[in-house]
Chain A
Amino acid sequence: MIQSLDPRVTRAQIELNNPIDPLTELDQWETYEVFHQKKRGDQHIHVGIVHAANPEMALLFAKEQYARRGVSVNIWVVKTAQVYSSDYADSDIFETVPEKVYREAGGYKVMEKINKYKKAQAVK
């Protein structure tokens, strides 16, 4: 039995050469992705994962692992297995050609026309 400096360890009566079977698959349960909202009006932001046996516990765990400091109003947990994501190898799909000014606010410049029109009106 271990006689430890830590009284908790001594009380637990642990053998120094305690054998153990390896942890098996899913011993640590599934993972959930955690989304955290600091205050009302903010977006939920992905902050990490927790291992949990069910969504209720995932929420309990997420609250303490990701929101035990600072301010928070809400948390979401989503099973990692249920997230469908794009592939980094395909990140060139986001590289859309710059000519698409027709859907940008900056693609519309009317002042020139207005000024020209006003000038023409003034001449009349």
Chain B
Amino acid sequence: MYGNAYIDPNENPVSSGKGPSILEGEDPVLLAEFEARIQRGEKIEPKDWMPREYRKQLIRMIEQHAHSEIIGALPEGTWITRAPGFKRKLALMAKVQDEVGHAQLLYSAAETLGKSREDMINDLITGKSKYSNVFNYPAYTWADACIIAWLIDAGAIINQVANAKGSYGPYCRALDRICTEESFHLKYGHDNVVTLATGTPVQRKMVQEALNRWWPPIMHFFGPSDKISSHTEILMRWKVKMASNDDMRQQFLNMYVPKIWDLGLTVPDTNLRKNEETTDPDWDEFKRVINGGGPCNAERLAVRRDAEERGRWVRNALKAGSAKYVVPLA
């Protein structure tokens, strides 16, 4: 579901300073060939020469996306044993399963850049790597799971459709497959929210409250306004970053706020109601949560560690003595 291509606000600005420093030491001929290939609209494949910064940013981005999928299985998974009725029960299982599947596809894409899945999982469970902030919020009721399925997935699609046009072949291929599945998620989520919003007063109240809770994290979902730096410019030229965070946020608002209003639901941002302009999201809150201070950060990682630990004997037992790790081809 959940791509989120923001540059981590905590990231050490080693590589976000002056443009030329990022490219320092790169072979100018190879670099020119690389950029010309992207300019022609061709994809970069795993064994191609690529600038260090390109590899680094792609690993960071794809890995973060993969972590978001596997952690993203948890807030919705909160309701997997309680989904009401066969249709919802089966669909939620299938949806959470898809998120796990997306993690698998994305880790595979990141692996082609030379970071093993073990290393990525280690960086996740020790808190070294980030994942989408939005999954550090709790799903208090069934309706929260429905709002996530509709609106977070809607946001993810905007992001992923943009990224699928990027320059790195394996990431694009993974995203194409993912986007197909996301269209099921979006329909499923919308159907759920419509059912609640057009249902009994209890259901309506439930879904409005969930929407109120999830609105601020949804506004944070696309990340803070991009700093216009030469670094961002290079990433856009290399088709690593495909759309600005503000543009994606605006696209989301244009597409989904009318659909929310259609259902007679309100969004908690009163400016949006009156002036059709959004209030700037609270970025201090965003930074606090991404640094571990959100309501569920600690739980999410503890659960992941527990799952890895409980599965370890299984993985260890089946590890073949003859096995040899080779970076996947594509």
Contacts and interface: CB of A to CB of B under 8 A. Distances in A.
Q: Do chains A and B touch in the complex (CB under 8 A)?
A: yes
Interface of A: 2, 4-9, 12, 14-18, 20, 22-31, 33, 46, 48-51, 53-54, 57, 65, 69, 80-81, 83, 85, 87-89
Contacts of A2: 299, 302-303
Residue of B79, B80, B117, B298 most packed against chain A (CB within 10 A) = B117
A27 B140 contact: no
Contact of A12 (B108, B306, B328): B306
A22 B116 CA distance: 13
Nearest to A7: B81
Contacts of B126: 22
B95 to A, nearest CB: 13
Contacts of A69: 181
Interface string B287-330: 00000000000110011011011001001101110011111111
Contacts of A81: 324, 326
Contact of A33 (B177, B309, B329): B329
A89 B45 CA distance: 10
A89 B49 contact: yes
A111 B79 CA distance: 72
B114 to A, nearest CB: 13
B101 to A, nearest CB: 6
Contacts of B181: 69
A101 to B, nearest CB: 27
Contacts of B315: 27-29, 53
26 contacts: A2-B299, A5-B139, A7-B81, A7-B82, A8-B80, A9-B299, A14-B302, A17-B302, A18-B302, A22-B118, A22-B122, A25-B118, A28-B118, A29-B315, A29-B319, A29-B323, A30-B325, A31-B325, A31-B328, A33-B330, A49-B328, A53-B319, A65-B101, A81-B326, A87-B47, A88-B45
B319 A23 contact: no
Q: Which of A15, A20, A46, A88 has the most CB of B within 10 A?
A: A20
B328 A33 contact: yes
B101 A23 contact: no
Contacts of B117: 28, 51
Contacts of B138: 5
B329 A48 contact: no
B78 interface: yes
A85 to B, nearest CB: 6
B104 interface: yes
Contact of A26 (B78, B319, B330): B319
Given A6-B77, A12-B303, A48-B330, 9 more contacts: A2-B302, A4-B78, A6-B79, A20-B125, A20-B305, A25-B118, A26-B319, A28-B121, A29-B318
Contacts of A20: 125, 305, 308-309
